[in-house]
Chains A and B, each alone.
Chain A
């Protein structure tokens, strides 16, 4: 306080010109700062809009029923995304079937049963770290373990799904733990009080209450897996596949990889195909994320 008074002179009043100039200056920098903040948000969203509009403008002409029902072809006129969509679907099914139960069970173990010791710390550190490991590393793991060591079929949704499951599982565990901790202890105590066992408390009361939160995290993780490309390139899902896969061990491609392959084509018509495929992928991503937001808003409880 005294230093400001010294700066301005002992008999400064709020009405003094020097004081008012100073205030104006402070308010101006306040406005500039606020504008900068707004500008940052606007710039980011502007980029998003630019990206979406570019893709729409280039790809909307390529969207047709034929495009959705045809499979890959070397001729851009007849190429479509059905094979890739089916591959993506099979891959995501495998990922979900593995990552969801394992993720939820680990989250339950870590939150409700794990003793505080070095072993538990190790599990926690490895889960937190796995959530941040670059996805391409999971591709290398899949290549070395599933293809070269276990000799599973190359390019198959089974291997892709396994690889993506390892990648998604930590995301589900982290979301699951957050959802489980947010269930208030009074629920557990009440259930224990009427004679439920620890396991009954968890599976009859805590898990159902935490499920919306877990599902939200799972859907977001699945959306990420659906858009993932790099690890699948590592396990050979980049072959030219003209026949839609019939099962999880058939060679298949997935939608993001199809986009990547088409983007490499020299022919100009493939630009439209690529953008149209991106539109299809974005629609799926938006649907999944929208579902997650809906679930969060609809079922999330504030205790």
Chain B
């Protein structure tokens, strides 16, 4: 609370310092030529106040939590708390939420009783932090204002240096995110592999992650063989969905770029792009509500008694439809990149348009199309909601499209949405699955981007 106040105080101080610098610079300019505009002098002053104070707030906020915990554990109430780290952690967290009025009462009785104490210590530390922050802001502002900048002071250069640092910092976020993904997945997966041998996970054909509640129950160990999951993922995302998406997407792209009139295209293309804009949860609901029963009935009429209402076919079909605009726009790009001399030459020799497309344009555009298809596969196997809602949970190793299979993403959702303590093999398995999924899509993306780049270079 005090930190928020301190934040606004810092803004005020920055405005004051900036304003003073502005007025001074204006006065200097009235006397003669100035290197930088007064507004740059103002920005320079404000930045000098803001940067250290905001950095201090950013550093203080997480530190405060640790300090409060330490101070609390030193009090008599804190020492009476249970010694078991996990339980103590839970109580402390709950007490903090009560103290901040986020929840009315705690699940643990202890957390209710120590909440007032937490509030007291927290307010003490946040006042301390706020004072430090405001002092830092005032010190920085005073330091700046005592250094009377002359007419030659290059405020613009200084401000631009700050801005360039800001730009660089913004672009670092992407690297930090990638690093965060890799590290968090890797870290949790390593903990998983301490409990389950990697070979069992990668090559086991039996997936049943239900660990028992009581230790003496049957099947308490759980089985984490991921082969059926990966088969299901490939079956739905890379086989069934692609059988739908590649011909439809490719032919749509060909029709729209080669045959349709410009006016027809300007209507049909945005309409087709709506398919890509429909949220996946809508596709999932549609698949579960309409497509899956139809597919099951079709299977039953065909005499397949095992036809499931959560068939791989239904999920794959809908996923394929979702991918159509993606394949279509990638194919569109690669066909458009083929030099028109090749197309004109073929037409001039007397080939019909379809002959030109099939024998000249498509072979020339093939690397680009293949790259696009690989990207589409990478998107399909990472797709979650359609399969969560329309595909099953049973880990079957089957090639029957009417049977139920499960996928990696379904299992990740399944493993993490139950009420489980975080350290069980079950929840950690989700991160191991996520790691493998990440690596597979990364490989697909890199190969696909390589294809597209090499293809583009070939015609430039």
Instruction: State the A residues within 8 Å of B (CB).
Output: 26-27, 29-30, 33-34, 36-41, 43-45, 47-48, 51, 54-55, 58, 101-102, 105-106, 108-110, 113-114, 122-123, 126-130, 132-138, 140-141, 143-145, 148-151, 153, 166, 169-170, 173, 197-199, 220, 223-224, 226-230, 233-234, 238, 249-250, 256-257, 259-260, 263, 271, 274-275, 278, 281-282, 285-286, 289, 293
Query: A256 CA to B279 CA in the complex, in Å?
Result: 8
A278 vs B281: C-alpha distance in the bound complex, in angstroms?
9
Q: Name the A residues within 8 Å of B250 (CB-CB).
A: 40
Q: What is the bound-complex CA distance between A133 and B268, given in angstroms?
A: 29
Kindly provide the distance from the CB of A59 to the nearest chain B CB, expressed in whole angstroms.
10
| Beta-carbon contact of B282 and A282 below 8 Å | yes
Assess whether B160 is in contact with A199, with CB atoms less than 8 Å apart.
yes
Partner of B389, one of A105, A148, A260: A260
Q: Interface-forming stretch among B119-127, B170-178, B298-306, B337-345? A: B170-178
Establish whether residues B279 and A229, one from each chain, have CB atoms under 8 Å apart when the complex forms. Answer: yes
A44/B324 contact (C-beta < 8 A), A38-B255, A127-B174, A141-B180 known = yes
Verify if B56 is at the interface (C-beta below 8 Å from A). no
A126 pairs with B175, CB closer than 8 A: yes
Contact of B156 among A48, A128, A197 (CB under 8 A): A197
Q: Does B139 contact A (CB under 8 A)?
A: no
Chain B residues whose CB sits within 8 angstroms of the CB of A133 once the complex forms: 181, 382, 438, 441-442
Q: Are B277 and A140 in contact (CB under 8 A)?
A: no
Q: Tell me, yes or no, whether B288 is within 8 Å of chain A by CB.
A: yes
Q: With an 8 A cutoff between CB atoms, is B355 at the interface? A: yes
Given contacts A127-B174, A286-B274, 4 further A-B contacts (CB under 8 A): A109-B170, A134-B382, A153-B102, A199-B163
Q: How far is the CA of A148 from the CA of B449 in the complex (A)?
A: 34
Q: Report A-chain residues with C-beta under 8 Å of the C-beta of B445.
A: 128-129, 132
Give the shortest distance, in Å, between A248 (CB) and chain B (any CB): 12
A135 touching B278 in the complex, CB below 8 Å, given contacts A41-B255, A43-B248: no
A294–chain B nearest beta-carbon distance, Å: 11
**Nearest-Cβ distance from residue B169 to partner chain A, whole angstroms:** 8
Given known contacts A136-B412, A199-B164, is B173 in contact with A37 (CB within 8 Å)? no
| B437 contacts A109, C-beta separation under 8 Å | no
B272/A45 in contact, CB under 8 A: yes
Q: By the criterion CB–CB under 8 Å, are A37 and B259 in contact?
A: yes
Whether A145 lies near B180 (C-beta < 8 A) is yes
Give the residue of B172, B375, B413 whose beta carbon is less than 8 angstroms from that of A132. Answer: B375
- Nearest CB of chain B from residue A63's CB, rounded to whole Å: 16
Contact B353 A30 (CB under 8 A): yes
Q: Which residues of A sit under 8 angstroms from B398, Cβ to Cβ?
A: none
User: Interface majority SS on A: helix, strand, loop or mixed?
Assistant: helix
Tell me if B11 is interfacial: C-beta within 8 Å of chain A.
no
**Given A47-B321, A48-B275, A37 and B171 touching (CB < 8 A)?**
no
Closest 6 CB pairs of A and B: A134-B382, A227-B279, A37-B255, A40-B251, A105-B170, A144-B184
B108 at the interface (CB under 8 A from A): no
Q: Are B167 and A151 in contact (CB under 8 A)?
A: no
**B279 pairs with A263, CB closer than 8 A:** no
A-B contacts, 18 of them at CB < 8 A, read A51-B282, A55-B282, A101-B170, A102-B173, A109-B167, A113-B164, A126-B177, A129-B445, A137-B438, A144-B184, A151-B93, A223-B277, A233-B416, A234-B413, A256-B385, A260-B389, A263-B289, A285-B279
| B249 CB contacts on chain A under 8 angstroms | 40
Does the CB pair B160–A41 fall under 8 Å? no
Q: How far is the CA of A66 from the CA of B171 in the complex (A)?
A: 45
A229 with B280: CB separation less than 8 A: yes
B384 adjacent to A229 (CB under 8 Å): yes
Closest to A235 in B: B416
CB of B256 within 8 A of CB of A41, answer: yes
Instruction: Write out the residue numbers on chain A whose beta carbons fall within 8 Å of the beta carbon of B180.
Output: 141, 145
Interchain CB contact under 8 A, A44 and B416? no
Min C-beta distance of A169 to chain B, whole Å: 7
| Interface residues in chain B, defined as those with a beta carbon under 8 Å from any beta carbon in chain A | 62, 65, 93, 97, 102, 156, 160, 163-164, 166-168, 170-175, 177-178, 180-181, 184-185, 187-188, 247-252, 254-256, 258-259, 268, 270-272, 274-275, 277-286, 288-290, 321, 324-325, 352-355, 357-358, 375, 378-379, 381-385, 388-389, 409, 412-413, 416-417, 422, 430-431, 434, 437-438, 441-442, 445-446, 449
Chain B residues with Cβ below 8 Å from A198 are 160
* CB pair B285 A259 closer than 8 Å: yes
Given contacts A197-B160, A230-B409, contact A282 B278 (CB under 8 A): yes
Contact B285 A274 (CB under 8 A): yes
Bound-state Cα–Cα, A224 to B385, Å: 14
B449 touches A30 (CB 8 A): no
| Least CB separation from B274: chain A residue | A48
What is the minimal beta-carbon distance from A282 to any residue of chain B, in angstroms?
7
Smallest beta-carbon distance A27→chain B, Å: 7
B286 partner residues in chain A, CB cutoff 8 A: 51, 54-55
Closest to B168 in A: A109
Partner of A41, one of B272, B282, B441: B272
A68 CB, min distance to chain B CBs, angstroms: 18
**Please, which residues of chain A bring their CB within 8 A of the CB of B271?**
45, 48
Q: State whether B102 touches A249 (Cβ < 8 A).
A: yes
- Tell me if B279 and A281 are in contact (CB < 8 A): yes
Q: Is A123 a contact partner of B434 (Cβ separation < 8 A)? A: no
Q: Of A44, A58, A150, A275, which is in contact with the most chain B CB atoms at under 10 Å from its CB? A: A44
Contacts of B384 in A (CB 8 A): 134-136, 229-230
Please name all residues of chain A whose beta carbon is closer than 8 Å to the beta carbon of B178 when the two chains form the complex. Answer: 126, 129-130
